[in-house]
């Protein structure tokens, strides 16, 4: 990883306030893994091996219905951690994770993270805060699915992803092609016309 592991960990809310000694202790428990665009990190239902912190690239967290429809839960970028919940509750991964672009992530095994949290209780409290934030996001997704139209949901997702990863120009907002992963072109074209996307221009 071009950027130092410690520098990446400092970007993650879970580890940002660790002392130098604590960071050194954590650093020895961390490994780095690379994933190509489209490569799967884990599937929903897989046994939880540990948690991840994004160092470079973007990781899409999603669920797939029995009919094959994909629901994006989040797109995690540099400094974001994910898979904290199953590390603590002993369950399997509740969703799948796939690289939206060439990515590099840090990995901490479940056992190593448990040991670290026993030594540094404040990290466990931060995990609760992160999981609480994710729960609020999931509630918002449920509200979208229950009370809004397909067209409204699609526009909302485009805006959220564009705000998180786009480059704004004087003419439009552009973003990488990976933002469209999981959407069927027909569903997009039938949900909105060109005027609905005024000021938003897919690259």
pLDDT by residue (tens digit) across 68-125?
888 888 899 999 999 988 888 889 999 999 999 999 999 999 999 899 888 888 777 7
Q: Report the SS3 class of residue 198.
A: coil
Residues 102 and 160 in one domain: no
Query: How high is the pLDDT of residue 146?
Result: 66
Residue 46 falls inside a structural domain: yes
CB atoms within 10 A of CB 199: 9
Cβ-Cβ contacts under 8 Å for 89 (sequence gap 6 or more): none
CA 69 to chain centroid: 19
Short-list 78, 85, 41, CA closest to 61: 41
Query: How high is the pLDDT of residue 89?
Result: 84
Number of domains in the chain: 2
Fill in the DSSP letter of residue 47.
Answer: P
Q: Report the SS3 class of residue 48.
A: coil
Residue 175 falls inside a structural domain: yes
Residue 203 falls inside a structural domain: no
Query: How high is the pLDDT of residue 135?
Result: 73
Intervals of the chain under pLDDT 70: 1-3, 137-138, 140-150, 152-153, 156-157, 160-203
Residues 104 and 162 in one domain: no
Residue 202 falls inside a structural domain: no
Domain that holds residue 71: 5-147
Residue with tokens 């899409």: 60
CA 199 to chain centroid: 26
- pTM of model > 0.75: no
Residues 73 and 169 in one domain: no
Give backbone dihedrals phi and psi of 112, rounded to 5 degrees, phi first: -65, -40
Cβ-Cβ contacts under 8 Å for 140 (sequence gap 6 or more): none
Cα–Cα distance between 107 and 52 in angstroms, integer?
Answer: 5
Cα–Cα distance between 197 and 123 in angstroms, integer?
Answer: 42
- Reading the block at residue 23, the tokens are 């960071």
Domain boundary (115, 130, 147) is at 147
> 96 has which bridge partners?
62
Residues 31 and 108 in one domain: yes
Q: What's the number of CA atoms in the CB half-sphere (13 Å) around residue 44?
A: 14
Domain boundary (130, 147, 164) is at 147
Residues 38 and 77 in one domain: yes
């Amino acid at each position: 990883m071009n950027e130092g592991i410690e520098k990446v960990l400092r970007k993650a809310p879970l580890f940002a306030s660790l002392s130098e000694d604590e960071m050194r202790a954590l650093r020895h428990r961390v490994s780095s893994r690379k994933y190509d665009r489209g490569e799967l990190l884990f599937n929903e239902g897989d046994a939880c091996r540990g948690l991840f912190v994004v160092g470079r690239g973007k990781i899409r967290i999603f669920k797939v219905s029995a009919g094959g429809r994909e629901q994006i839960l989040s797109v995690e970028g540099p400094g974001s951690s994910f898979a904290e919940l199953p590390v603590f509750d002993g369950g399997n991964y509740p969703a799948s994770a796939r690289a939206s672009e060439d990515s590099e992530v840090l990995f901490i095994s479940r056992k190593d993270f448990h040991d670290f949290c026993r030594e540094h209780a404040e990290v466990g409290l931060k995990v609760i805060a992160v999981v609480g934030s994710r729960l609020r996001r999931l509630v918002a997704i449920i509200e979208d699915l229950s009370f809004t139209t397909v067209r409204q949901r699609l526009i909302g997702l485009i805006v959220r992803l564009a705000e998180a990863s786009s480059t704004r120009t004087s003419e439009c907002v552009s973003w990488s092609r990976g933002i469209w992963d999981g959407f069927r072109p027909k569903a997009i074209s039938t949900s909105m016309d060109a005027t609905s996307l005024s000021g938003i221009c897919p690259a």
